[in-house]
Structure 1
Amino acid sequence: MHIDNITLKDLSVFTGQVNVFDLINRSTTHLGTRQLRHFLTHPTRQYEVLIQQQEAVQYWMRHQDVWPEVISNGTMVMLREFFESNDGLHYKPSSWLFSLDATIQKIFNKNAYSLLQFSVMHLIDLVKGLAAFNAIEDEHTPALVLQAQETFAHLLREPICREMLDMNEHTALRKLMHAGYNARRGLKKYMTTVFDQFAHMDAWFGMAKATLDLGFVMPEISNEQDIKLQARQLFHPLLQQPVSYDIGLGQEQYMLFLTGANMSGKSTLLRSLGLSALLAHIGMGVPAKAYAISFLDGIITNMQVEDNIFLGESYFFAEVQRMKLTAQKIQQSNRHLVLMDELFKGTNVHDAYECSKAVIQHLLLHKSNLLALSTHLYELYEELKHEPGILFRYCETVIDPTGNYRFTYALKEGVSNDKIGFIVLKNEGVLDLLTYKKDNAGSV
């Protein structure tokens, strides 16, 4: 699935003081963290691979309690250095010169010698941890986990690894040095693949832990021709007290037309749709009670467009360019989720109305995509109310006769023309601050 940096930014995946990546990253090492980042920036474009990744996450949901904590982030950092550096011991373990050289190193290069000893202990931890991975019993071990286990098995079949399974901190120092000497020369050829497979396992474990800890649900992902997104009690995971939504888009109604006052929750709903789709497409759980989605070719957002003063581009031109890219994407392939928040904010109301109407009417021609648009231009309803492909919803604001208002954030059927902009301006005292005061007249 394709996703670009603008969409990742619009969805607060990596940016912001509070972001999605920090929320879901439960990996135990930097290798797993890096792999999770790769999953989010480069979701697989193959349905079969996605299902396999989902199965790998579900596997670790079943086995959270047996993750081998003996493999720490420090273990992976030390071992990468261990296999890339020279230990300074130049003789074979069978040679009497090895013991002499080790003694000399211990006396005259204590720091390097201690580091070598420390690294060997981490290697023992790795070997024992990988053995624990392969000892997990599960009749339904998924293909990707089996692939990782086979990689670990190749390493564990080496004689030096079998010896290390019986070693610990009480093992004689000379035996540890022998083990380190043999391991560096005999196991290095395995380590790139082992680290890579461990990174995947760590990422899947972290995704499984986040799914369980955050109360997410594993989504149903289909590859059928008819496109859909069906969610029950969908919520935004970054909010402390989120309001949930029931929403359904599909072959019959494939565009959401969302209205409501400022701050009523429109943008939050759009971001919830985008985030849930992205998380589903990396194989982990999503913030909902039930969720089903088609395998998508991509997610495209038009939400926080930025102008470019260095190129002399206005905000409106930047909006048009982003919409142009959106059009190109859905022309190249179907099955996108397109999220649009307040189109054409960079121009006057009349232009925004005409541009929005034209874009919506053309987008409706692309029935194999899922589309969601939020807007203040409720007048568009009269132009679009007879379009069968549009689902009309609004985010509720309760306004009493005195002008007081409150947001329920509830999603209702229909269209809203609620306007609270002037009320907010007045309540915040802006007009009072701008009121001309006679007392200040003489000070000018």
Structure 2
Amino acid sequence: MYLLTDEQTIEDLRIFGKRDSQGLFDLYNHSHTRGAEAVLKEMFTKPLSDQQEINRRSDIIKSFSGMNMRFPFEGALFDMAEKYLLAADEQKKQGTQQAVLSEKEISNGVTALITLVQQIKTFIESKEVIAMASYTKEREAIASLLLDTAFEPVMREQQKAKLSYAAITAYDLLFRHRERDKIERLLAQIYQLDVYLSVAKVARDRKFVFPKALEKGKSILRLKGVYHPELAKPVSNNFSMDASHNVVFLTGANMAGKSTFLRSVSTAVYVAHIGFPVAAEEMEFSVLDGIYTTINLPDNLGIGASHFYAEVLRVKKVASELQANKSLFIIFDEMFRGTNVKDAHEATVEITIAFAAKRNS
């Protein structure tokens, strides 16, 4: 189950960077492999909406953070292994038997995979990993793959020993054809591990907190010392909401930091649903069905929509989700700024009354 959101929210929260600036994704991305980077990007695109899954992922990363464990593989091994495996796909795409890789590249790919298979076995058999209750599901999945009798010769190979031509040919058949699916599943587990260790390092270095996900539907949000993680000298704030106080009006002078505060809170809510640590001292939250923000709403001139009409469409979208009894976290920054003050005031009051009646949001 994934958290409902949209491009407007992702843009408002600057989840992904642009040419001239980094995004939230870049702050958490310290991965060693391209595969892990792709996994991390998917996690940021699809936050979770399941209490158990959020807390389980958070517990795994928290455990790794406390262990101060480094990624136990060389990044160069993945470059060789991925190039080697992708070559088989290229051959199939071209519909040719002609070799895409040189003998040396095949040898490098085979050797890299042997090393990775042996090293992941060593990793899951370490005392520290066996003791990690939160990582049991992943550890058992890896162990199950490695128990296949096809991998027995791989385990017997001496590390850095030169392989014969016959051995390379046999392993090539094993890795790229007979057991290709298992190899890809092993790599997927390693990429996920890379993400966990990467985010654990961010939590440790930046002293981020691991939020506690609560049952869905109770509309609880408690934040202590929340701040925006991308600011060099942030100002932290406390914030709380519940079912009896589920609407907040934020007021203040221009340039007082209102929009930054809105981004700080909504960023924490978004990242917490990924199961990642957040920029705060403490946080607990009821799991939501979705998050929608309207902080920098552009005119949609492509469909002839004015700013006011774009706001109306935005409100309609959120209202339809609330009508479907979804638990949502919603932010509107200066609602209906595209029209006159009187109309904006009246519309804001009516919409706020209607939204406030939805106690699960």
The normalised TM-score by structure 2 is 0.87
Q: Is the 8 A contact 2:70 2:197 kept in 1?
A: no
Change over 3 Å in CA distance of 1:258–1:150 after alignment to 2: same
Structure 1 residue 327: Cα displacement: 0.7
Match of 2:123 in 1: 133
Residue 67 of structure 1 corresponds to: 71
Return the offset for 1:273.
1.1
- Between the two proteins, the alignment pairs up a number of residues equal to 346
Taking structure 1 as the reference length, the TM-score comes to 0.72
Shift of residue 84 of structure 1?
4.1
Given that 2:121 and 2:143 are in contact with CA atoms closer than 8 Å, whether structure 1 keeps it comes out as no
The residue number in structure 2 matching 1:260 is 252
Q: Deviation of residue 311 (structure 1)?
A: 1.7
1:117/1:177 contact within 8 Å kept:
yes
Structure 1 residue 113 and structure 2 residue 103: aligned?
A: yes
User: Gaps (5+ residues) in structure 2?
Assistant: 92-98
Match of 1:35 among 39, 62, 66: 39
Pair 181,335 (structure 1): closer, same or farther in 2 beyond 3 Å: closer
| Residue number in structure 2 paired with 1:21 | 25
| SS of residue in 2 equivalent to 1:338 | strand
Does the aligned pair in 2 maintain the 1:297–1:333 contact within 8 Å?
A: no
What's 1:167 paired with? 159
Asked whether the equivalents of residues 130 and 152 of structure 1 are also in contact (C-alpha less than 8 Å), the reply is no
Structure 2: how far apart are the matches of 1:71 and 1:147?
24
Which residue of 169, 177, 190 corresponds with 2:168?
177
Q: How far apart are 1:321 and its partner, in Å?
A: 0.3
Secondary structure, counterpart of 1:258 in structure 2: coil
Contact 1:296–1:337 (8 Å) recurs in 2: yes
Distance 1:13 1:66, change over 3 A: closer
Higher deviation after alignment, 212-221 or 63-72: 63-72
- State how 1:388-403 maps to structure 2 within 5 Å: none
Report SS of the residue matched to 2:60.
helix
Q: Supply the distance in 2 between the matched residues of 1:273 and 1:264 (Cα, whole angstroms).
A: 16
What's the offset of the Cα at 1:167?
A: 2.9
Q: Which has the larger radius of gyration?
A: 1
Aligned-pair CA distance for 1:146? 2.7
Q: Is the 8 A contact 1:231 1:292 kept in 2?
A: yes
Identity of aligned residues (%): 25
User: Secondary structure, in 3 states, of the residue corresponding to 2:251?
Assistant: strand
Q: Report the 3-state secondary structure (helix = DSSP H, G, I; strand = E; otherwise coil) of the residue aligned with 2:31.
A: coil
Q: How does 1:11-410 map to 2 (within 5 A)?
A: 11-16=13-18, 17-72=21-76, 73-81=78-86, 84=89, 112-137=102-127, 138-142=130-134, 143-154=136-147, 158-164=151-157, 166-168=158-160, 170-174=161-165, 177-178=168-169, 180-184=171-175, 185-223=177-215, 225-369=217-361
- TM-aligned CA distance change 1:190 to 1:279, over 3 Å: same
State the 1:182 CA deviation. 4.8
CA contact (8 A) 1:39 1:282 kept: yes
SS at match of 1:291: strand
Q: Residues 82 and 180 from structure 1, CA distance in 2 versus in 1: closer, same or farther, beyond 3 angstroms?
A: farther
Cα-to-partner distance string for 1:14-73 (whole Å, 9 max, x where unaligned): 144121001111222111111111112112232222222222222322444253123544
SS state of the match for residue 213, structure 2? Answer: strand
Q: CA-to-partner distance for each residue in 1:281-329, whole Å, 9 max, x for gaps?
A: 1111110011111111111112111222232111100001001111111
Separation (CA, whole Å) in 2 of partners of 1:175 and 1:59: 43
Contact 2:224 2:238 in 1 (8 A): yes
Preserved CA contact (<8 Å) 2:297 2:311: yes
Asked whether the 8 Å contact 2:227–2:264 carries over to 1, the reply is yes
2:47/2:271 contact within 8 Å kept: no
Distance in 1 between residues matched to 2:74 and 2:48, nearest whole Å: 31
Relative to structure 1, the CA distance from residue 314 to residue 285 in structure 2 (aligned partners, 3 Å threshold; closer, same or farther) is same
> How far apart are residue 214 of structure 1 and its match?
2.0
* In 2, Cα distance between equivalents of 1:156 and 1:61: 34
In structure 1, what residue type is equivalent to 2:55? I
Deviation at 1:178, TM superposition (A): 4.7
In structure 2, relative to structure 1, the CA distance for the partners of 1:147 and 1:49 (3 Å cut) is farther
Residue 156 of structure 2 aligns with an amino acid whose one-letter code is E
Cα deviation per residue 1:349-406 (whole Å; 9 max; x = unaligned)? 222122212222222211221xxxxxxxxxxxxxxxxxxxxxxxxxxxxxxxxxxxxx
- The question of whether the paired residues in 1 share the 8 Å contact of 2:5 and 2:292 is answered with yes
Stretch moving more, 186-195 or 146-155? 146-155
Q: What is the deviation of 1:229?
A: 0.8
Structure 1 residues 183-192 or 41-50, which shifts more?
183-192
Map Cα deviations across residues 180-230 of structure 1 (whole Å, 9 max, x no partner). 345334432412322332232222222222222222100111116532111
Say what the alpha-carbon RMSD is for the aligned residues.
Answer: 2.5
| Ranges in structure 1 where 5+ consecutive residues have no aligned partner | 87-108, 370-444
Residues 199, 294 of structure 1: CA spacing in aligned structure 2 closer, same or farther, 3 A cutoff? same
